[in-house]
Amino acid sequence: MRFFRRVLYWLRFRAEQDDLREEIAQHRALVAAEFERRGLTADAARDAARRAMGNETSMREQARGVWLAPRLDAFLQDWRYSWRGLRHSPAFTLVAVTSLAVGIGANAAVFGLLDGLLLARVPVPSASQLIHLKRDLGPDGVDDRFSRSEFNALAAGPVSLAMFGSTFAPVEIDGVGANASTDVIDGRYFGVTGLRAERGRLISPADDEAAAPVVVLTDRFWRGRMNGDPNVIGKTITISGQRFSVIGVTPSGFAGLRFPAFAALFIPYRSAATLGVLPRADDRRQGLTVFGRLGASQSLEGAQGQLRALWDHCCAMGQLFTPAKGQTVVAARLVLDDVSRGIPHPKMDLRGMFGRVLWALMAGVGLLLLAACANVANLLLARGSARTGELAMRLALGASRARLAGQLVIESLQLSLLGAAAGGLLAWWGTKYLTAEHVGDLAMVVQPSVGPAVFLFTTVVSVASALAFGVAPAAHLVRGDLLSPLSQAGRRAVPGRRGVLDRGLVALQVALAVLLVSGATLLVQTLRNLQDTKLGFEPAQRLAITVETRATSYARQAMTAQMANEMLRRIRGIPGVRTAAFASLVPVYGGRTMTDNVTVPGAQAPSDGASTLFVGVTPDYFESLGMPLLTGHDIGPPVATLPRGAIRDVVVNDLFVKKFFGDHNPVGQVFRDADDGDTTFTEDRIVGVVAAAKFADARSPARPMYFVPINDGDWPFLVLVMRSSVDATIAASAGRTISAIAPGIGRGEPTSLAASIDAALTRERIAATLATLFGIIALSLVAVGLYGVMLYQVAARTTEIGIRVALGASPSAVVGLVLRQSLAIVAIGLAAGVPLALLAGRAVSSQLYGIQPYSLSALGVATIALFGVALAACLVPARRAVRIDPLAALRAS
C-alpha cells in the first residue's frame, strides 16, 4: 500500500506540488488574518506571516523528501555529493571522462559494426524460423540452386516453401535508365517471409499465377531512385523494356533474404518468365533459391526428414532439371540450414572477409578500454590518497565504511556514465566516419546497427568498466588504515601497497600499448606496401563503364563488332578523351575472368598447368591502360566472326613468354588454346608482347596472360575503358554515344580506376587507420598514467629526496632517480608486451603484405615510442623533484 501510494504520488507529482503550494499559501493567509485581527496593518500582517512561516521552499522540499524511499534518498545524497566532488576537480574529471569516452565509444562503434555484420538478422518477423535448402553433391560440394520444377515438387510437401531468383535488369524510370538488382519471386514469397507492405500491397499468389506485370520496390530503392515519391503506387517503370506497375514498397531495411542484401525490386516469377526479364527462363533450369518457414511445432530435423523423403523420390537423381552443357548429373542429398542471418551470397563471403577484421578491432578496442580503466583506476587511487583526510573525517563522524565505499563506487559510476554519454557521441561520429563513402564499400553491406543491442552493450560495458576501475580503489581506500592520517595531519601517506598497484597498472598499459603500436606499424606498413606496389598499369585518369552486349527484349539488337568500332570512333572524338577501348576484363575494376588451356606445338607442357587467363580487347587497350608494349604491335579491331581455320593475331604478356617460350623471341610464334576437355582448338599467332600487370588486386601477383581480338557474341558484356580526365560530363557523353548506336543496351555506372583500386584497399585502410588511432590513444593513456604515478611518487618521496639533496645529491642525480623509476615501469611493460605483440603479429600475418609478423621494425617503433612517451611524461615530475627545497621538506616531517 505504501509502495502504491508512493508511485501514485510520483505519477501526479505536479498536481501534488501545486496542492502543497496552495495549502501553504492558505495557511500563510490565515496566519496573516490572525495578525491583522491583533491590530497590524494588512501589509505588516502579511510580512509578519511570511516571517512566521519560515523558509517555505525548504519546507516543500522536506515534504517532498518524505515520499522518497529511504535508501533511494541516501543514494541521491551520495549521488549529489559525488557530483559536486567531480565538479570541483574539473581536471581530474576531464581526463578520466575523456579516457573512458574514448574507450567506451570505440567499443560501441566497433560493436555496432560487428552487430550489423555478424549478428544482425534478416529484418522479417521470427527470422529464426527461416530455413534454406541446399543440395549436397558429395565431392562436388554444395549448391543452393534449384529448378522451378524441383521447387514445385518440394513445395507440394508439408513445409511451407517459397523461392526467388536474382538478376540484374536494366530499369528505366522517367527516361533515366540504370541496372537494378531484381529478385524474381513466386507468389508465396512475401507470405513465407511474413512481411507487410510499408505502402501499397505486396505480390500475392494471384499476381504470380496471372503473370501480372507488377513490381514491389524496396524502401531504399524507393527513397534513393524515386526520391520517396509519395504517389509511387500505380506508377509505371520499365524493366528490361517491359512496363511494370508499382504496387507496393517493402518495409525499411529489407532488401531480400541474402546477406549482404541488395535487392531493389521484386517481380513475380511468371511475369518475368513471360516478359523476358529472366533470360532463358525454363522450368527445368537450375537457378532458383528455395527457402521456407518452419511451423511452430516443426523442427529443422523433422522438416529436413520430410523434405528429404520427397526429394529422394522426385528429384535426387536429377529427374527435374536439365544439366548445363558439360555438367554431369550426380545424386544429390537435400540439406536444410538455418538462415536467420540471411542466405550467404555464393560469390561474396563478406562475413568471412570483414568479420576477421572486425573481431580483431573488437579485441583492439577491448584492450583500449582496459587501458583506459587502468588509467582511471590510477587517477582514482591518486585522488583517493589525497582524500584520505576527508574520508577519515567522515568515518570518524559516523559514516559506515560500506557507505563510504558505496559513495566512491557511485563516483566511478558517474564517471563511466559521463564517459558513456561522450563515448556514445564519439561512436555515432566514428560509425559515420567508418561507413562514409571514402572508406569504401563497407557502407553498402553493413548497416551499422544503432538498436537496443548496441545500447545494451554500451551500458553493460560502461557499468562493467565502472566496477573494473572503481571497486578496487574504493576497497583499497576504505579497507586501509584511514584513521592515522588524522593523527598526523599534513603528513603524506607512505607509498605502500598502493604504489605496487598503480605502477602495476601503468606497466599493464605499457604492455597493451606495445601490442597496439606494433600492430599498427605492421598494418600501416602493409597498406603503404600495397599502395606502392607496381600494378603494371596506370590507374590515374581512367574511367570504366560496363556495357551489356547481348540482345534482350529491351535492347532488341545485340552490340556487334561494327557497332563497337563505331562507338570507339565517336568516343575518341569527345573532347578530353585521349584513347578508349573495349575489353572483357579491366585490371582491379573487374569484368569476366576466362581461362583456356594453352599448348605450344613441339614444346613440353608446363609443369604448373596449361590453364591461362585470356582477355578480349580492342586496339588501344594497352595504350588506354598505360601498359607498355615491349615488342611487336597492337591487336586488331573487332570483327564479326573469325574465318574458319584462320590464325588469330594475339598479344601476350611477358610472364606468358617466360612460361611458354623461355628466352626465345616470341613474336611470330604460334600456340593453341582450347576449352577444358575440348578437342577443338584455336590457333593464335603472337604479334606483340606487353609488360605484365596485376589484374586481381594489389596483393595478388601478376599472372601469364594473353589478349585476343573480340568477335560477335564472345562476351555477355564488355568494359569500356577511357583515358580521359575523370569528369562526369565525359562519362555522360560516352554513355549517350553508346545509347545512340545501340539503343536500349544496358550499362553500369562510370567508375574511375583509381577509385576501384582505392575500394579494393578498403579493408587495409580501415585496419591501418583504426590501428594507428588505437596506438596513439594507447600511448596517450600511458602518458597520462605515468605522469600521474610519477607525480605521486615524487610527492610521496619528498622527505627522502630532501634528505638526498641535503646530503649533496646533484639535480641530475635527482632527475635520474625519477627517470629510473619510470623507465623501470616501461621496461616491465615492454617485457610483458613484446611476447603479446609477437603473438598478435602471428594472428594477423595473413593480412600482412611485404612485412614479416616478427618484424623488428614494428617492435622498434613501439619501443622507441614508449620510451619517448615515458621521458615526456616524466618532465614535470622530474622538475618538481629538482625543485624540492631540502629545508622545507625536512621541516614538514
Partner 1 sequence: MARGDKNSELLPGTLDLLILRALRGGSLHGYGIAERLRAVSDDVLQVGESSLYPALQRLLLDGYVRAEWGASENNRRARFYTLTAIGRKQLVAEQDEFERMVGAIRAVLRFA
* Interface residue list for partner 1 (CB under 8 A): 1-2, 5-6, 9, 19-20, 22-24, 26-27, 29-31, 33, 52-55, 58-60, 62-67, 73
Question: Please, what is the minimum distance in Å from the beta carbon of residue 800 to partner 1?
Answer: 47
Q: Any bridge partners for residue 580, and if so which?
A: 722
Nearer to partner 1 (CB atom), residue 54 or residue 645: 54
Half-sphere exposure of residue 88: CA atoms within 13 angstroms, side-chain side: 8
Q: Would residue 140 be called left, alpha or beta, if left means φ above 0 and alpha means ψ between -120 and 50 degrees?
A: alpha
CB atoms within 10 A of CB 385: 22
Residue type, position 462, single letter? S
- On whether the CB atoms of residues 714 and 559 are closer than 8 A, the answer is no
Q: How far is the CB of 366 from partner 1 (least distance, A)?
A: 45
* Dihedral angle, C-alpha 396, 397, 401, 405, nearest 10 °: -110
As a whole number of angstroms, the distance between CA 152 and CA 331 comes to: 19
Cis peptide before 260 (omega within 30 of 0): yes
Joined together, the cell numbers standing for residue 827 give 621496461
**What residue type is assigned to position 473 of the chain?**
P
- Within 10 Å of residue 680's Cβ, how many Cβ atoms? 7
Give yes or no for a contact between 256 and 263, defined as CB atoms under 8 angstroms apart: yes
Give the residue with the Cβ less far from partner 1, 63 or 472.
63
Q: How far apart are CA 366 and CA 758, in angstroms?
A: 29
What ranges in 684-752 are assigned the alpha helix state H?
Answer: 728-741
* 49 or 757: CB nearest partner 1: 49
Closer CB to partner 1, residue 59 or residue 824? 59
Q: How far is the CB of 47 from partner 1 (least distance, A)?
A: 16
CB of 369 to partner 1, least distance (A): 40
Question: Helix or strand or coil: residue 435?
Answer: coil
Query: Contact, 434 vs 448, CB < 8 A?
Result: yes
Residue 538: closest CA among 690, 318, 736, 332: 690
Return the number of the residue (33 or 843) whose C-beta is nearest partner 1: 33
Instruction: Report phi then psi at 708, rounded to 5.
Output: -120, 160
Quote the least distance from Cβ 2 to partner 1, whole Å.
6
- Nearest residue (CB) to partner 1, 27 versus 284: 27
Q: Find the radius of gyration of the CA atoms of the chain.
A: 37
Q: Tell me how far, at minimum, the Cβ of 77 lies from partner 1, in Å.
A: 10
Cα–Cα dist 584/615, whole Å: 6
Q: Using the minimum distance from each CB to partner 1, give the nearer residue, 29 or 494.
A: 29
Nearest approach, Cβ of residue 365 and partner 1 (Å) = 45
Q: Which three cell numbers stand for residue 824?
A: 623501470
Q: Cβ distance 291 to 339 under 8 Å?
A: yes
DSSP 479-525: HS--SHHHHTTTPPPP-SHHHHHHHHHHHHHHHHHHHHHHHHHHHHH
- Number of helices and strands in the chain (H, E): 29, 27
Q: Which is nearer to partner 1, 6 or 199 (CB)?
A: 6
Neighbours of 143 (CB within 10 A): 13
CB of 8 to partner 1, least distance (A): 10
Q: Which is nearer to partner 1, 73 or 338 (CB)?
A: 73
In terms of CB distance, is 56 or 337 closer to partner 1? 56
Judged by CB, which is closer to partner 1: 55, or 297? 55
Read off the amino acid at residue 747.
R
Nearer to partner 1, 54 or 452 (CB): 54
Of 24 and 226, nearer to partner 1 (C-beta) is 24
C-alpha cell at 195: 512481411
Cβ atoms of residues 616 and 584 within 8 Å: yes
Task: Tell me how far, at minimum, the Cβ of 70 lies from partner 1, in Å.
Answer: 9
Q: Is 648 helix (H, G, I), strand (E, B) or coil?
A: strand
Nearer to partner 1, 53 or 639 (CB): 53
Question: Hey, which residues does 135 pair with through a beta bridge?
Answer: 143, 334
- Of the pair 33, 809, the CB lying nearest partner 1 is at 33
Which amino acid is residue 163, in one-letter code?
M
CB atoms within 10 A of CB 594: 16
Of the chain, the end-to-end C-alpha distance in Å amounts to 61
Question: Shortest Cβ distance from residue 392 to partner 1 (Å)?
Answer: 25
